Structure 1
Amino acid sequence: MGSKDRIQRLKEHTRSNILQAALKIVKHNGWHALNMRRIAEDIDYTAPVIYEYFNGKDALVGELSANGFRKLAGAIGKAKNGHIAPVKQLEAMWLAYWNFAFTEKELYQAMFGVEVSCSAMKEGFAKTEQIPALFNKVIRELIGDSNATEDMISTKYFTLWSVVHGLIAINLINKGKSEEINQMVLHEAINNTIATITH
């Protein structure tokens, strides 16, 4: 391996360490505790080293957000591939979305600005095209009408997304009534919207 390759790998490793340290701080202490000096202390770097990779907290949160969208798209794609029937695919995809929001709570907060006051959320949010594309493909199959417009498909997607994301946000900020009620609302929203597509 040449020296340039070694240097590049070292840079990628350092960048990854910084992001992992930032996420660890947030998981243990909340977003309010995250700052560049704290990250440097936690991984035994100097603050200037951190700034060589990220020019500030917003840039760092933006990268965490982008990573979150990539992970979420992967989870949704995996859920889709686990089923053949479009109805089952769509249901599994939204359940994967729901599960991601709580297993990767801090990333989800960064991705959608839930309890994170940071303009960097917009940078990550701009990278979400892959997620609606996955859903819209299945919705188009469910509609089964070659004349279905993009607006028709997007309306179905945004209807479901509004309910699912809204329910997630309520629970992340202020715990909802109960997990049983959450699941009832979630499944009712998914099933009702699927019913409007298939009938």
Structure 2
Amino acid sequence: MSAIHERRERERAHRHQLIVTAARELAEAEGWDAVTTRRLADRVEYSQPVLYSHFNGKDAIVSAVALDGFSELGAHLRRAREAAPGRGEALRAVCNAYLEFATGRPALYQAMFVLPTDLKFASTETPPPLRTAFDEFVSCFRPDNDRRELFAEVVWSALHGMAVLSDSGRIPPAGQEERLDFLISRISDTHSGPTTP
């Protein structure tokens, strides 16, 4: 690869990240309805055709923001899990970190889990940052638990419900610790194998 080609690739990657960062900042400040190609073009000082050379519309921009978000979420969950004193405490630490992430970055969380994107979940085409974030939940369960991925899915689903319902005011935020205690105690009481009569 020539030096000129490498420089162009770096410049393209820089423009790409600039657009993603601008979209995210605008969404956090004013909501996703405010994120339009015209507003983004003005904000990053590029023409709309330059934006379209990077992204094929708003859904593609949301997908790029979401992918960045999953990288951040995975790192955030890993730090929480590694700081926990033991496996039992790791699940609570990861759950708290997840809810903290969702609450602290509402527009980013919407891009990751609510708005339409082309990201594939639970498939061979799942991008590595999504799998890495999910694996932080899986790692909270014992390796000999042959249903640990199922447990991780159930915990993640419950946390997502808590985050979205709390954010929309449909459940009171004040009950979050009690809901978390209930979830963790029920999952912890579940045996790893199938029950026998």
Residue pair 1:21, 1:42 contacting (<8 A) in 2 also:
yes
Across the two proteins, how many residue pairs are aligned to each other?
A: 185
Amino acid at match of 1:60: I
* Cα displacement string for residues 140-162 of structure 1 (whole angstroms, at most 9, x for unaligned residues): 24xxxx4x42xx22332223222
Structure richer in helix, relative to its length: 1
- More moved, 183-192 vs 27-36: 183-192
Residue pair 1:18, 1:43 contacting (<8 A) in 2 also:
yes
Helix, strand or coil for the counterpart of 1:75? helix
Residue pair 1:66, 1:111 contacting (<8 A) in 2 also:
yes
- Unaligned stretches of 5+ in structure 2? 193-197
Of 159, 162, 171, 1:176 maps to: 171
Distance (Å, rounded) in 1 between the aligned partners of 2:120 and 2:168: 21
* Cα displacement string for residues 77-126 of structure 1 (whole angstroms, at most 9, x for unaligned residues): 1111112410111111111111111112111111111xx3x2x1x41643
* Cα displacement string for residues 151-197 of structure 1 (whole angstroms, at most 9, x for unaligned residues): x22332223222211110102233632x3212221233223322335
Residue pair 2:37, 2:57 contacting (<8 A) in 1 also:
yes
TM (norm. structure 1) is: 0.83
Alignment of 1:38-117 (within 5 A): 38-113=39-114, 116=115
Helix, strand or coil for the counterpart of 1:51? helix
1:24 is displaced (CA, Å) by 1.7
Residue pair 2:36, 2:58 contacting (<8 A) in 1 also:
yes
Amino acid at match of 2:178: M
Helix, strand or coil for the counterpart of 1:123? coil
1:4 is displaced (CA, Å) by 3.0
| Residue 26 of structure 2: aligned partner | 25
Residue pair 2:28, 2:108 contacting (<8 A) in 1 also:
no
1:65 is displaced (CA, Å) by 0.9
| Residue 188 of structure 2: aligned partner | 194
TM (norm. structure 2) is: 0.83
Say if 1:160 and 1:197 are closer, same or farther in 2 by CA, change over 3 A.
farther
Runs of at least 4 residues off by over 6 Å:
none
| Residue 135 of structure 1: aligned partner | 137
Residue pair 1:66, 1:124 contacting (<8 A) in 2 also:
no
Residue pair 1:62, 1:124 contacting (<8 A) in 2 also:
no
| Percent of paired sites with the same residue | 26
| Residue 195 of structure 2: aligned partner | none
Of 162, 174, 185, 2:179 maps to: 185
| Cα-Cα RMSD | 2.2
Residue pair 1:111, 1:124 contacting (<8 A) in 2 also:
no
Residue pair 1:65, 1:124 contacting (<8 A) in 2 also:
no
Helix, strand or coil for the counterpart of 1:17? helix
Residue pair 2:20, 2:61 contacting (<8 A) in 1 also:
yes
